[in-house]
A and B are shown apart, each in its own frame.
Chain A
Amino acid sequence: KNQVEQSPQSLIILEGKNCTLQCNYTVSPFSNLRWYKQDTGRGPVSLTIMTFSENTKSNRRYTATLDADTKQSSLHITASQLSDSASYICVVSASAHNNAGNMLTFGGGTRLMVKP
């Protein structure tokens, strides 16, 4: 069964500090992995999408890593800001074998709170 596990479930850090969120998956066959940021009361917004051949990808203060061998990904946030307070969701896409298209499996998310 395809699964995506995220840790920690929640995290509180002080403004300016760095943090790392983890994502482990058992999705197969792997197509791509995405990190989404979801602000309270809003829909998820894509931060980064990683394919099998990509190990690291950065988007401003966000850096995502992917280890396809161990089926792990991380999202590192540098110099956190109050606006980083949100839920971060890891989503893994499996390649489908029929016309239904690829299938997404969602992690439960990490709720990050950045305090001043």
Chain B
Amino acid sequence: NAGVMQNPRHLVRRRGQEARLRCSPVKGHSHVYWYRQLPEEGLKFMVYLQKENIIDESGMPKERFSAEFPKEGPSILRIQQVVRGDSAAYFCASSPTVGMDTQYFGPGTRLTVL
């Protein structure tokens, strides 16, 4: 029974390139969350998605960042025109329902912007 899977695990981009981070939730989970962990900081919520819908994107930077969770396939966090400050670990989590339910976290994608 596979848990949350994220790929790639490590991603290196040059300034100005695009980064695409993928998250496959636990089978049967329809709620996906993205978090960012900056160096020396705690996790910060970015966006919460349910299949084909963005429910809460209050933690997403207003520009360059977008997320989707299509009917088929993984959730994608997309960062356009990356800058050095985007270097961080990005974690995805999934849960089966909304409410006070446990979120299961993926291993994270470590993005390095050169």
Decide if A and B are genuine partners. Answer: no
Interface residues of B (CB under 8 A from A): none
